[in-house]
Amino acid sequence: MKKLLFNIFRTIIGEKGFVRYKNYRNQKNREADLRKAKEYLTYRDAILQNVKAKEVINVLFFVTNLSMWKYDDLIKLLLENPRFKILVVSFIIPGFDKATSSRQQEDIRRYCDNNRIPFIAGYDFDNDSYYNLNPADHDIVIYTQPYNIGYGPWLIDAFKQHSLFIYTPYGISVSGGEYFYNTYLTNIAWKIFVGSELEKDIFKNCQSVGKDNQVVTGFVSYDRLKTPKTNPWRSKNKKKIIWAPHHSIDNKFSFENSCFELICDSMIEIAKQFENEIEFAFKPHPLLKQRLIDKWGRETADNYYNKWAEMSNTFICDGEYADLFAHSDGIIHDSASFVCEYLLTGNPGLYTVKTDLVPPGINNNFGSACFRNYYKGTCKEDIISFLTNVILAGEDPMKEARLAFVKENLLPPGEKSVGQNMMDEFLELIN
């Protein structure tokens, strides 16, 4: 009934009115969060001193899905130090498709089991119940996303009386605006681990009450891309291309960035056309399936995904993707969070766009600089040209400038790994 009334309300005010309504609600919520953040900062130093004095510091990682997991190297170092006790809990968001959420939770469980990381399933799908965490047991809390949405007893307010918070952007900061950088979490965080001085400035300039909590450690993807574990690709002789469409097929999140519905059928045709030369990995944003279920219906969404799982030269990757990136030859995508991250591979990429303008999800100077290192495509013919000329024929005129940009702007500081740079902040806490 609640969803029905909401849809009626949205229909009455229209899409433009709905966007204005969302912006108004977001602004009011942000103002309330910033008031709470300002209050928290008045006693954060007391929490810090209390945590420093503990013999064992409990660190809680909330993980939504493996594709947003960015702490692989850090957690290994923490597990080696007896002053820290680690726990990973799968962060299941209410209202999301249960089949997808269940699969993502099992992916996290399997990853933790394989790497001997303490893990608790956040949700019992058989009994429809969340795990009962005691907030007082956790000294440092690390969220995957900065939005403070999800299951109420796991959100910031439940932990703020006795916990420190850490945030690392799950994607590299190429978008502007308060929605990403001026949040409850980013303002109260003890540390925000950022990739570069450029990214540090973005956070610093956007935050209202929390300042000087950014630490340049290097981009978190760098370590994994340089030391891949396994090769998920099946073919030895074919070129390996990732297609990574974003979820923003409508204005549900205030921007329509994705070209998915414009090219989804063409991408099936292209995969068949290059069956003998190219292997394709379909790497959709973790939220895309839910968006398609809402818009297309489950059967149509399932049928589309099944096509990518069943063709002879395609497969679906919906989890951790560092190994996928590291062993690939190129990418086609429209995801702002990948526009910098994939550049770390040094490989060419095609960014699918609706117009000649920079997409709305990329709207700061750093993001625009990354975006300029991509080939652009608006239609099926552009994609075929990229695959034929750049990938298969090796004609890559942007290569030299792309590699120079990576060397100058994207490598981690110092001689240490990104994980070690993060760990140094924990060591400073206990020393």
Residue 173 confidence (pLDDT): 66
Nearest to 243 by CA among 231, 261, 260: 260
Residue 70 confidence (pLDDT): 80
Show contacts of 405-411: CB within 8 Å, 24+ apart.
405/343, 405/369, 405/370, 405/373, 406/343, 406/344, 406/346, 409/196, 409/198, 409/366, 409/369, 410/195, 410/196, 410/219, 410/222, 410/340, 410/343, 410/344, 411/218, 411/222
Identify whether residues 201 and 93 lie together within a single domain: yes
Residue 191 confidence (pLDDT): 96
* CA–CA dist 251, 230 (Å, integer): 37
Identify whether residues 272 and 289 lie together within a single domain: yes
Instruction: Look up tokens 């219906």; give the residue.
Output: 297
* φ and ψ at residue 166, rounded to 5 degrees: -125, 145
Residue 380 makes CB contacts below 8 A (sequence gap 6+) with 263, 266, 269, 270
* CA–CA dist 52, 25 (Å, integer): 38
* CA–CA dist 245, 147 (Å, integer): 22
Per-residue pLDDT of the chain (431 residues; tens, 9 = 90+): 555 665 666 677 676 776 777 777 777 888 888 899 999 999 999 999 999 999 999 999 999 988 788 888 899 999 999 999 999 999 998 988 888 899 999 999 999 999 999 999 999 999 999 999 999 999 999 998 888 989 999 999 999 999 999 999 876 666 666 667 889 999 999 999 998 888 888 888 888 887 789 999 998 888 888 888 889 999 999 999 999 999 888 766 556 678 899 999 999 999 999 999 999 999 999 889 989 998 999 999 999 999 999 999 999 998 778 899 999 999 999 988 898 889 999 999 999 998 777 776 777 778 888 899 999 998 999 999 999 999 999 999 999 999 999 888 888 888 789 999 999 999 999 88
**What Å distances lie between residue 62 and 220, 314, 384, CA to CA?**
17, 31, 40
* CA–CA dist 161, 258 (Å, integer): 40
* CA–CA dist 212, 209 (Å, integer): 10
Identify whether residues 230 and 335 lie together within a single domain: yes
The answer to whether residue 291 is domain-embedded is yes
Identify whether residues 106 and 239 lie together within a single domain: no
Task: Please give the span between the terminal C-alpha atoms of the chain, in angstroms, as a whole number.
Answer: 55
Identify whether residues 249 and 335 lie together within a single domain: yes
The answer to whether residue 6 is domain-embedded is no
Angle at 423 between CA 418 and CA 425, to 5 degrees: 110
Cβ 175 vs Cβ 203: under 8 Å: no
Q: Residue 157 belongs to what domain range?
A: 25-219+414-430
Identify whether residues 230 and 194 lie together within a single domain: no
The answer to whether residue 192 is domain-embedded is yes
Domain count, the chain: 2
Angle at 20 between CA 368 and CA 333, to 5 degrees: 30
Nearest to 185 by CA among 151, 156, 209, 152: 156
pTM of the model: 0.74
**What Å distances lie between residue 201 and 158, 207, 366, CA to CA?**
30, 10, 10
The answer to whether residue 35 is domain-embedded is yes
Residue 135 confidence (pLDDT): 95
Cβ 109 vs Cβ 119: under 8 Å: yes
The answer to whether residue 2 is domain-embedded is no
Identify whether residues 236 and 326 lie together within a single domain: yes
The answer to whether residue 7 is domain-embedded is no
DSSP annotation of 300 reads H
Look up the CATH number of the domain holding residue 421: 3.40.50
Single-letter code of the amino acid located at 187: N
Identify whether residues 308 and 212 lie together within a single domain: no
The answer to whether residue 336 is domain-embedded is yes
Q: Which two tokens stand for residue 161?
A: 């009386």
Look up the CATH number of the domain holding residue 285: 3.40.50.2000
**To which H or E segment does residue 316 belong?**
strand 314-316
Identify whether residues 132 and 235 lie together within a single domain: no
Identify whether residues 393 and 422 lie together within a single domain: no
DSSP 253-294: TS-----HHHHHHHHHHHHHHTTTTEEEEE---TTHHHHHHH
Identify whether residues 316 and 258 lie together within a single domain: yes
Identify whether residues 156 and 187 lie together within a single domain: yes
What is the number of alpha carbons within 13 Å of residue 239 lying toward its C-beta? 21
Residue 428 makes CB contacts below 8 A (sequence gap 6+) with none
Cβ 410 vs Cβ 199: under 8 Å: no
The answer to whether residue 425 is domain-embedded is yes
